[in-house]
Amino acid sequence: MTDASALGILAGGGPLPGQVAAAARAAGRAVFLIGFEGYAEPAVLAPFPHEVVRLGAAGRILDLLRAHNCREIVLVGPVRRPSIFDLRPDREGTRILARIGRAAFAGDDGLLAAVVRVFGDEGFAVIGAHEILTEAVGPQGVLTELVPDAQAQSDIARGVQVVRALGGVDVGQACVVQQGIVLCVEAIEGTDAMLARAAGLRRDGVGGVLVKLVKPGQDRRADLPTIGPATLRAAATAGLRGVAFEAGGTIFAGRAATIAAAREAGLFLIGLDPGPVSHPSDGEYP
Amino acid sequence: MTDASALGILAGGGPLPGQVAAAARAAGRAVFLIGFEGYAEPAVLAPFPHEVVRLGAAGRILDLLRAHNCREIVLVGPVRRPSIFDLRPDREGTRILARIGRAAFAGDDGLLAAVVRVFGDEGFAVIGAHEILTEAVGPQGVLTELVPDAQAQSDIARGVQVVRALGGVDVGQACVVQQGIVLCVEAIEGTDAMLARAAGLRRDGVGGVLVKLVKPGQDRRADLPTIGPATLRAAATAGLRGVAFEAGGTIFAGRAATIAAAREAGLFLIGLDPGPVSHPSDGEYP
């Protein structure tokens, strides 16, 4: 990997693909973005050289990456989890799907790990967005003046227990806990949709917390949890008192803006020590 | 427990409290219903001797049960999980809350187990609704002409894995799986609300399945999973192909009506062998 090669950015939704591209460019590196049709936002892609392709067009994606001299690639930005039926793979995509196998579609990590493996086989190195956006990785500790009280700490501990159990079966990254009660649990609807639901499920009394963690065993080169100003605003609307994320494993969609949004909404924002949340590299879940 | 004593029925929402009362009466037993304010349906209580009380009015509940010569009691029908703050306990309720402790509010089972224990301490025997409604307990095997195909069987197996993991941390009883993808997971919103959400999350191609199980270690005298015609209609609206429940641990809100609703909606309905889903009596989760 020489600096002469471009960074290939496979872009899903939201602002992060643009932030990765800007950070790589600021470091003097050429970039090429492949925006997934229906997910990548045109305004995010516009400032950079890019093409828009269908998710299933694997052959076209590989051709574009080679044509633009990309050796390292980053997968960043949410993509709605495709069913094997709506991928509409091209010829290369069909070949790759056969290699991946249907089993990979059973869990998020299975599929992402398979995608990372396929790119590796094709001669590309997949790196994590957090390796480019080092400034955007959420640090450990409380980032707001407001700190979690005893009830909030207890809710965070309960949330960590629940999200780890979920992660152990490769489902979701987040839950909302209020006064010890698990109000909602994330599957594929995403954190914002889960927060929208939390508002209608809340109990009287002190508000709950959002807990969002990296899955045990998750490959950090794909789909790291993301928190941004919109997350904090949605948490406030849901009546929560704060957000707990995993330090070193969460990407802020704009660090200063995310912390500022927490302060404006009167929420605490805390980065949890990833220590007790193990990430075995052998693929075994604890 | 002599037949001369009445069966006390602590009634939450839905039709089941009335079905328990009718079944006990048909067996020649007197009944007395305590309907929880805001949950029990007046039309369900009306045919039987009853009073309506607040959830937190523990002293009044115990007095009523004694005044009506109840020795055995059944807890049946859903009650929205109260926060410790909106219980508004009476004097006896406050004494009992102090005995139960806040810890019990952390999970469904903790609280229900504590409630069963308190009634036992007060001289009442809590029995399960399934012991009265023997006819309404879901049996093992496929109850419809339609049977799950290989994809549906695989989705059911994935759902069992996920619901068991959730149950292990005392959250929810159900999830929806389509083509191996876990579309949604139940916390306290309840199965109907989860199914309403599933409709917006479904993928193209063959529909998913609802899997609803007894929690590992759950005390079967409280809050057994319930499936009724409304569940089947909601599952059909969500684009599902079938419903899998745990045989021997699920109460049908009307057995014939539930099976008929499945057939009319073109869904399969299958009772899973509870064998692989262990229910240790020592309170340990596997």
ipTM comes to 0.77
Q: Order of strands across the sheet with B141-142?
A: B141-142, B268-272, B242-246, B209-212, B174-178, B181-185
Residue B181: strand pairing partners: B178
Instruction: Give residue B279's pLDDT.
Output: 39
Mean pLDDT of B63-75: 94
Q: Per the CB < 8 Å rule, is B187 touching A175?
A: yes
CB atoms within 10 A of CB A188: 18
Using a CB–CB cutoff of 8 Å, tell me whether B179 touches chain A.
Answer: yes
Look at the alpha carbons of A132, A137, A139, A140 in this order and tell me if their dihedral is positive or negative. negative
A203 touches chain B (CB under 8 A): yes
Q: Per the CB < 8 Å rule, is B165 touching A162?
A: no
A residues 63-82 closer than 8 Å to B (CB):
81-82
- A188–B175 CB contact, under 8 Å: no
Nearest C-alpha of chain B: how many angstroms from A61? Answer: 23
Instruction: Count Cα neighbours of A217 within 13 Å in the Cβ-side half-sphere.
Output: 19
User: What number is the average pLDDT over the span B114-123?
Assistant: 84
Task: Inspect the interface and report whether the beta carbons of A187 and B184 lie closer than 8 Å.
Answer: yes
- B213 sits in the region (left: phi over 0; alpha: psi -120 to 50; else beta) called beta
Per-residue model confidence as pLDDT tens digits over B134-165: 888 899 999 999 999 999 999 999 999 999 99
Contact yes or no for A86 and B204 at CB 8 A: yes
pLDDT tens across the length of chain A (286 residues): 445 799 999 998 888 899 999 999 999 999 999 999 988 999 999 999 999 998 888 889 999 999 999 999 998 887 766 666 667 778 877 877 777 766 566 555 556 677 778 888 889 999 988 889 888 889 999 999 999 999 999 999 999 999 999 988 988 889 999 999 999 999 989 899 999 999 999 988 999 999 999 887 777 777 678 899 999 999 999 999 999 999 988 989 888 999 999 999 999 999 998 874 444 333 333 3
Q: Rounded to a whole number, what is the distance in Å from the CA of B86 to chain A's nearest CA?
A: 6
Nearest CA in chain A to B180: A106
Report CB contact under 8 Å: A178, B83.
yes
Is the per-residue pLDDT at B12 higher than 60? yes
What percentage of chain B carries pLDDT values higher than 70? Answer: 87
Entry pTM: 0.79
Cβ-based burial of B162 (10 A; exposed 0-12, middle 13-18, buried ≥19): buried
Give B3→chain A minimum CA distance, Å: 39
> Residue A172: its pLDDT value, please?
81
Check A86 against B169: CB less than 8 A apart.
no
Structure tokens at B243: 């419903």
Place of tokens 């149950």: B167
Q: Which of A54-58, A256-260, B103-107, B267-271 has the lowest mean pLDDT?
A: B103-107
Contact in structure between A118 and A99 (CB atoms under 8 Å)? yes
Q: Determine the pLDDT at residue B109.
A: 58
Q: Is residue A37 packed enough to be buried (19+ CB in 10 Å), middle (13-18) or exposed (0-12)? A: exposed
